[in-house]
Amino acid sequence: MELLSLFSRSEYQARHLQLFSDISESDLSAVTKIIAPCSVMLVKAGQAVIAAHTTDNRLYVVLNGTLEVQSHENNGGSAGNNLQFLPGECVGELSVLDEEDQPNSIIATQNSELLVIEAETLWQLIDGSNGVARNLLRLLSFRIRTTNALLRRRHKVGEFYRQLSMIDGLTGIHNRAWLNSQFPQLIEHAHSTGSPLSIIMADLDHFKQFNDTHGHIIGDDAIQSTAKIMNSTLRPSDFAVRFGGEELLVILPDTHNEACYTVAERLCKKLEQTSVFTDERLPLPHITASFGVATLTAGQDIFSFIASADAALYRAKNEGRNRVSY
């Protein structure tokens, strides 16, 4: 960085700067005298003007070039999403006013010239000019609104990716991440309210043989078909989850064991009648599944609850598959 002598070059006029715009002639004259001793800093592209987590009690006014906030939370993000400071704008006013550390680095994205106003000088400007004080308040209001808008956008983007991370890419139903996050809450709610909660564990029958015969693409189609049947059969309050591989889990809030068994039987019959592909000359054109049902008991945790449904599923397999078991 290089500091030039006084703010006196003819191409720079105080009225063109955001902090000094729309002020009276008398105020402008006073402002010009106050900032006359201020230096102009030359900053090369890529250099830091303010380092993150440091206290810099100076205000920087961009005379030409561009500065940019470098958020350390978004080092891999697009630079176009970062806040920029263009000619006439200033940066660093919050650190001057509250004497707190700057949370992010301010980097020059082009060779830039900056008017450097020390904290004491800024306070002189505020005390001596109502116009400067008004402009500073407007600037702070804009900063707050901009920061709030960025926070809302980040929250929405973060929530979008959080939801996306809980959806199974193949089937479009919930995945294990969702199950680990949400299922314990459903169990806790059922225990605290005394409401019934039942689950169905489903596993496609002879799926390895199906894959070996028809290939993994058709195997994926079989899993997708099963998920679609579940989504079309369940209530809006129910949840379908891909538990892993060809295993799927259905969660039925406010459902007793008998009603859960009825839902599982309906799923079993609908799946048996569904063709994964239409060429009936090929073996195994249909898919079936075995189903195990369980209802939450007093004091039962998530692991023993799923284990109960899993044990019922294996009973269905041992009894011949394509059926439902308690």
Catalytic residue among 68, 93, 113, 246: 246
Q: Which residue has the tokens 């019922």?
A: 312
CB 292 within 8 A of CB 316: yes
Q: Which of 38, 162, 55 is nearest to 102 (CA)?
A: 55
CB 265 within 8 A of CB 322: no
Token output for 15:
């009225």
Output the CA torsion sign for 161, 217, 284, 316: negative
Residue type, 102: Q
User: Rounded to whole angstroms, how far apart are CA atoms 214 and 219?
Assistant: 7
Across the strands, what pairs with 248? 202, 242
Q: Which of 288, 219, 295 is nearest to 250 (CA)?
A: 295
User: Rounded to whole angstroms, how far apart are CA atoms 92 and 62?
Assistant: 11
Token output for 288:
């079936």
Token output for 265:
């039987």
- Please report which residue ranges of the chain form alpha helices under DSSP H: 25-35, 93-98, 119-128, 130-164, 176-193, 207-214, 216-233, 257-272, 302-318
CB 253 within 8 A of CB 197: yes
| 246 carries an active-site annotation | yes
Q: Which residue has the tokens 């080092």?
A: 75
Q: Which residue has the tokens 């015969």?
A: 213
Q: Which residues are catalytic?
A: 246
